[in-house]
Amino acid sequence: MSDFLTQFAPALPEVFVLAMVSLILLIDAALADGKRYVTYALSLATVAGAAVLTAQDFSIMPVLALGGLFIDDPLSDALKLFLYLAVAVVMVYSRDYLRQRGLYKGEFFVLALFALLGMMVMVSASHFLTLYLGLELLSLSLYAMVALQRDSSVATEAAMKYFVLGALASGMLLYGMSMIYGVTGSLALADIAQILADGTDLRIPLVFGIVFVVAGLAFKLGAVPFHMWVPDVYHGAPTAMTLFIGSAPKIAAFAFVVRILGQGLESQVGEWRDMLVILAVLSMAVGNIAAIAQSNLKRMFAYSTISHMGFMLLGILAGSQAGYGSAMFYVVVYALMSLGGFGMILLLSRAGFEADQLDDFKGLNRRSPWLAFLMLLLMFSMAGIPPTVGFYAKLSVLQAVVGIGYVWLAVAAVLFSLIGAFYYLRIVKLMYFDTPHDTTPIIPCPDSRIIMSANGLAVLALGILPQPLMAVCLYAVGASF
């Protein structure tokens, strides 16, 4: 009996989150609408508790558990801590917005926590089955979250699209996994890596499998040409859900890609690198160019996400520890900026009004110089202009790419980021150069305001002193591979 329990010890944070989310589900059912803050507080407490559990048990060495299904290593622990942070920030930003739209229900928090659990499982998976299980738990929670605003036809449409395309992607992924299983006879990543490193005669099924797996991953990341769902979902979903989708799941997706390609298919880097090169270049091109044409900020950020995922792939395709480390740095930084960007839309929105048009940012410097300054930092960071942290994210992935001799790819990447700079600059222009056409005072609730200030200033502070975060990312990757 005790043997059975100790097996679960490395998965304690997951067990805790699952227990708490079940508890919250029960408690919330009994709560009156006016007492929803109990759910809110309990959800934040759950995230905080999980963070304590993870930090307490931060592993120096990889520990396999549950018969090789689950791995607890520095990479998973570090990523989980970032996930908790992102989810907690999402909850704080979203509260007012949800309340004003009648969405301030237990479902949002329960779904967010289930999604968090899914992501934690993905991050800690060492087996195709657990990877898939985590992914589906995350995806199903997200589909439901997007559809939470039942009376909005746009949101329902977005949820439908997300679901259908997401299911298709899952199918492709499963198909690819089954091919790889056929070649290697195993679903555990470590075994697969071992068998493939020894060499196999079944090249064609293997390459077939890799193609399907990469396509499935590209779907989940939203990389071109598998990006069609991203703008529609980002645009159609209520902004609080877009905020969620745009932040933490990207970190989980990074883990997903690195676990499969970097750990399981490590020896096949020659096969998948060229695929990622194509995905990365197309993503950076389409994402940055299409973003220019958008007048809706959420849509613009959606295309910007696509291009950022392209950049992140640059780090992964380097196929080295330095490369994965830089991609991890990139994705964490991206999540931070994305939280700030969507968070700003939430802060400026109010009952019956969505501040999601570019014009809604006109003259923000006159209405609220502080918020405008924070948004300025976030935009320059997304554009990769120093002294903001976005620059170091770009620097580190470019360095990884040049390190493997792909100088042309680095040149292409910077040229696309030049195009990208245009639409970020445009937001700064709207905020600083134009006069406001809406002079309603902006009254964000104090907690959102404080978190937003911390979020914006973090972009600057990490830009001046990027070393700690960089060191954490490189350590996590280095100690786990």
Residues lying near other proteins in the complex (CB under 8 A): 365, 369, 376, 380, 385-387, 391-392, 395-396, 398-399, 402-403, 407, 410-411, 414-415, 417-418, 421-422, 425, 428-429, 432-433, 466-467, 470-471, 474
User: Shortest approach of other proteins to residue 396 CB, angstroms?
Assistant: 7
What are the start-end ranges of the H helices in 126-236?
A: 128-146, 153-184, 189-198, 203-221, 229-236
Asked if 329 and 473 touch (Cβ cutoff 8 Å), the reply is yes
- Which residues fall within 8 angstroms of residue 212, CB to CB, at 6 or more apart? 172, 173, 175, 176, 179
User: Shortest approach of other proteins to residue 294 CB, angstroms?
Assistant: 17
The number of C-alpha atoms within 13 Å of 354 and in the hemisphere containing its C-beta is 15
47 versus 379: smaller Cβ distance to other proteins: 379
DSSP state of 259: I
117 versus 313: smaller Cβ distance to other proteins: 313
Q: Across-strand partners of 350? A: 353
User: Shortest approach of other proteins to residue 471 CB, angstroms?
Assistant: 6
55 versus 465: smaller Cβ distance to other proteins: 465
Amino acid at 271: E
User: Shortest approach of other proteins to residue 434 CB, angstroms?
Assistant: 8
60 versus 414: smaller Cβ distance to other proteins: 414
178 versus 399: smaller Cβ distance to other proteins: 399
207 versus 425: smaller Cβ distance to other proteins: 425
User: Shortest approach of other proteins to residue 184 CB, angstroms?
Assistant: 35
Instruction: Quickly count helices (H) and strands (E) in the chain.
Output: 21, 2
Asked if 424 and 382 touch (Cβ cutoff 8 Å), the reply is yes
183 versus 398: smaller Cβ distance to other proteins: 398
C-alpha of 219 from chain center: 14
As a whole number of angstroms, the distance between CA 120 and CA 134 comes to 7
As a whole number of angstroms, the distance between CA 299 and CA 341 comes to 12
C-alpha of 3 from chain center: 36
127: burial class by Cβ within 10 Å (0-12, 13-18, 19+)?
A: buried
User: Shortest approach of other proteins to residue 338 CB, angstroms?
Assistant: 21
User: Shortest approach of other proteins to residue 376 CB, angstroms?
Assistant: 8
As a whole number of angstroms, the distance between CA 472 and CA 476 comes to 6
